[in-house]
Amino acid sequence: MNQLKGNKKISLIIPAHNEADNISAVLEVATKAKEVNEIIVVADACQDKTAEIAKGFGVKVIERKETYGKGSAMIAGVKAASGNIIMFADADLENLTTHHISQVLKPIIEDQAIMSVGLRDRIFGLGALIPKIYPMYAIGGERAMTKDFFNSLPDDQNLLDFGIETVMNYYAKKHKLKVSYPVLKNLHQVIKEKKYGLLPGFSDRLKLIKQVRRARRIMKHKNDL
């Protein structure tokens, strides 16, 4: 993980909740990303060996005994980060490559955008159409931004759960900030039904959808951004 030229330093934050089966594959790639200076895994109330596995890669690990949601874990990671550019990545990615990481980071490193949101390569190229049709639905977990942008987000309860990406999207739109949307070909995520079982996974998916919809509804009518 080499130092970038100039004053730019990149911290990659990976929130993880019971991801012992998946996080090794992500860290194998992340630790080889030449742009990244620091990797922080936030082991969020893990009851498995997620933290131990992450420590084996020599990255910084934050162990939290209680979970307050994905957004809360992301905030904890940013507070511990030394970089002025922040990238987030999910801990359960499949087929992640260093090129994917470079794609997400490039617009921020080159000052082309304030935030970069990686889009999954959906069937028939539908993923690339999301920001053109309705950018608020671009809620991918692989995204990069300046730390200043993240720290300027409103202090809102939606930041503490899966609504955090929606808050980011609305904030960028409200302030007419440039956002890039690189398409990350062949990048996939382990589905919740596979990780937790059919019924628990489906229940967790419904929870995510409810949180995102709630965040959209609240942010749409929020005037003090």
| Mean pLDDT value across residues 39-60 | 98
| Mean pLDDT value across residues 141-165 | 82
Q: Mean pLDDT in the chain? A: 83
| Mean pLDDT value across residues 47-76 | 94
Do 35 and 12 contact (CB within 8 A), yes or no? no
| Mean pLDDT value across residues 119-147 | 69
- What letter would DSSP give residue 34? T
Q: Supply the CATH classification number for the domain 10-220.
A: 3.90.550.10
Taking CA atoms, 129 is separated from 13, 30, 125, 168, in Å, by 27, 27, 7, 19
**At residue 125, does pLDDT exceed 80?**
no
Cross-strand partners of 43:
16, 63
Residues 6+ apart with CB under 8 A from 161: 69, 70, 71, 72, 211, 215
**At residue 73, does pLDDT exceed 80?**
yes
Q: Which amino acid is at 66?
A: E
Q: What is the pLDDT of residues 156-189, one digit of tens each?
A: 665 556 678 888 888 888 899 999 999 999 998 8
Q: Tell me, what's the pLDDT at 16?
A: 96
Cross-strand partners of 10:
85
**At residue 123, does pLDDT exceed 60?**
no
* Alpha carbon distance 128, 75 (integer Å): 28
**At residue 47, does pLDDT exceed 50?**
yes
Helix axes 70-80, 164-174, angle to 10 degrees: 70
Q: Tell me, what's the pLDDT at 49?
A: 98
Helix (H, G, I), strand (E, B) or coil at 17: coil
Q: What is the pLDDT of residues 85-122, one digit of tens each?
A: 999 999 999 999 999 999 999 999 999 999 999 988 76
The first and second tokens of residue 52, run together, are: 């131990």
Do 105 and 144 contact (CB within 8 A), yes or no? yes
Q: Tell me, what's the pLDDT at 133?
A: 55
Whole-model pTM?
0.82
Q: Tell me, what's the pLDDT at 18?
A: 94
**At residue 142, does pLDDT exceed 90?**
yes
Helix axes 198-220, 164-174, angle to 10 degrees: 20
